[in-house]
Structure 1
């Protein structure tokens, strides 16, 4: 079925382009193991896409970890430093991004990561991330006042394109519910690539398309150049 025709594309990063959500879970559970706690999907889905300080406080509070947020952040950063540099792409990510770049479709990354975290995750993927017109790193970008599910991040992402596109013409790809909510609040159509555990009925009416993998995406559905056959 024909969807809205778009001219620009914004991608989330974690759990969509890069397989970092698995590593986030591993890192968090490593800390929880010290105290006999379990980092469950029910907790994880509530914090995905939020700014780091917010998510850290939620984890400490919800799991009743016997430490301050600052102490937790020191521990989790050590885990990230060890795990993130080896993160691989998720299926379909490279093909789609390189295809859009080849056809001169303006593309950007809008991620909840801060600068240090972004550098860790992308250290072995510099060529790939150089294809994007810009990156909005919500974790420490001064123009992003509120993290997802607020629309701020995507609004900043839109402004930084050279031609100030209509929000309705910017297609967002997201894996997290918070991200889908943010795109919807910004007035942007969204393709949702939810995690296997996610209840796909929770965001009815807020997405243009739900797929299990970027490999399933057909650009021509949104008026974008089709893949070469």
Structure 2
């Protein structure tokens, strides 16, 4: 029985991962450095310390990570101000389904709380969430399980009855380590055979997740 859904945000709810990658690469170019596409894929869904470690190793000692972070933020804010946020297919439908069926929804994102809440309000989905767990509230970020354990606790749901929705390898591993049910909804990374054996399912979009939850809960009730 699924009693709570724990949502990643970037790449899962919003089409922001490509933007974030471009923002880091632009920040590096401003300093005469380069960040590879491979490094961008590695940092997807990772905690801040791991992100910085990967980027420093990839861009070289010349890259000032703090200056780069500020330039990245400016790039992202400017882009979203001009173009807005693009919601991933099925997000609104899934959130409405959860609300109608008394299934808790909790955000579990590595993004800091101030930014995450702003994005949810911009996308008009804030009121669908019962609680929020963000990167600046967690000591050990993804791929550690802490963020999902805390999210499940906030909505008073056993982790084994919680469904984690993720698009990143780091996030999927965090959900698996937490002991949650886990579905991958791919964004910039396609599932490997290994990932397919570790997660409960892989779905093309969030509309397909509705059918999965409905079937799972009907079987649990029968």
Q: Tell me the TM-score range normalised by the shorter chain.
A: 0.7 to 0.9
The alpha carbon displacement at 1:119 in A equals 4.1
Match of 2:92 in 1: 94
> Do 2:27 and 2:69's aligned partners in 1 also have CA atoms closer than 8 Å?
no
Match of 2:162 in 1: 170
> Do 2:105 and 2:129's aligned partners in 1 also have CA atoms closer than 8 Å?
yes
The alpha carbon displacement at 1:106 in A equals 1.0
What is the aligned length? 214
**How far does the alpha carbon of each residue in 1:173-222 deviate from its partner, in whole angstroms, 9 at most, with x for none?**
10111111001101001010123542422324321001222233313232
Matches within 5 A, 1:21-60: 21-34=17-30, 35=32, 37-40=34-37, 42-60=38-56
The alpha carbon displacement at 1:120 in A equals 4.4
The alpha carbon displacement at 1:55 in A equals 1.2
Q: Using a 3 Å threshold, how does the CA distance of structure 1 residues 76 and 120 change in structure 2: closer, same or farther?
A: farther
Instruction: Choose 62-71 or 181-190, whichever is displaced more.
Output: 62-71
Taking only aligned residues, the RMSD between alpha carbons, in angstroms, comes to: 2.1
Superposition TM-score, scaled by structure 1 size: 0.84
After the TM superposition, which segments of 4 or more aligned residues of structure 1 sit over 3 Å from their partners? none
> Do 1:57 and 1:69's aligned partners in 2 also have CA atoms closer than 8 Å?
no
Matches within 5 A, 1:1-229: 5-34=1-30, 35=32, 37-40=34-37, 42-64=38-60, 66-85=62-81, 86-125=84-123, 127-138=124-135, 140-141=136-137, 144-161=138-155, 164-217=156-209, 218=211, 219-223=213-217
> Do 1:60 and 1:72's aligned partners in 2 also have CA atoms closer than 8 Å?
no
| Greater per-residue helix proportion | 2
Superposition TM-score, scaled by structure 2 size: 0.87
> Do 2:24 and 2:69's aligned partners in 1 also have CA atoms closer than 8 Å?
no
Gaps of 5+ in 2: none
